[in-house]
Amino acid sequence: MKFFRILLSLSFVYVLADITAYKSLLAITNTHILQASIYTDPVKGNGLEHVIKTMVYENRFTLVKMNFMIAIPEYAILTDDNRIEIINHQLDMRQMIIRELPIPVPNTPDQKYMNINLHNMGEARRKITRKALKQIIMDELNRKQPVFYFSQMCCFIGLWMSTQTPSLYTRTTQAGFKNVCTITDRADHVIKYRSLNGIICQVDVNNIDEIIIELKVQILEEQLH
């Protein structure tokens, strides 16, 4: 029994150490993302928007991983029991920024990491990345000729939706027949968008010919709240 208590206490110490390390990485990565969001390149444009577009364009990461990198970093510690993978979510995000943008790597913040609230850090990141995702989507909607494939646009919409409702973050996106983008969240709720004559609209899940709201209007309305 005594041996069991020792093992339990050691496990608790390791968990605390993992959480502290993850909070540290989260704080540093948030600072790096903020730097990217205020950086502007004459060719690449806004730094953070460029990094996110590159991530989706290169198709190197799964949607779930991009969620942890961009929209719901605090959920990784709750849903992924692979310690190395959890750490890699943030390291990969920082590596993308370092690779794409000539901005300095932030110093380790001088603060007590155990006192940092994971949810607050997640909200701080979403405030920045939500703005970037909306701008990416709006820029694409305003173009006469699309730059991205519809499947990539579907991914941007799914990531944006994760920043809106992190507890029901997007689990899968699929672009298929009749230019329909099917988005499924972690609770298996389904939302569909469809491109009709170049205009992307949310449509009824059971009747894709029934328009609910134009995506551009939906984003503009969200900005007012």
The string of pLDDT tens digits covering residues 125-162 is 999 999 999 999 999 999 988 899 999 999 999 999 99
d(CA 167, CA 44): 32
Condensed to tens digits (0 to 9), the pLDDT of residues 48-94 reads 999 999 999 999 999 999 999 999 999 987 777 677 788 888 999 99
Query: Does the pLDDT value for residue 21 go beyond 50?
Result: yes
In the sheet with 199-203, reading across from the earlier edge strand, the strands are 170-176, 180-185, 190-196, 199-203, 211-214
- Between CA 204 and CA 210, with CA 206 as vertex, the angle to 5 degrees is 40
The mean pLDDT of the chain is 87
- Look at the block and give the residue holding tokens 């993308």: 96
pLDDT at residue 14, as a whole number = 33
More confident residue, 9 or 207: 207
pLDDT at residue 194, as a whole number = 97
Q: Say which DSSP state 81 is in.
A: -
- The band of 11, judged by pLDDT with boundaries at 50, 70 and 90, is very low
pLDDT at residue 76, as a whole number = 87
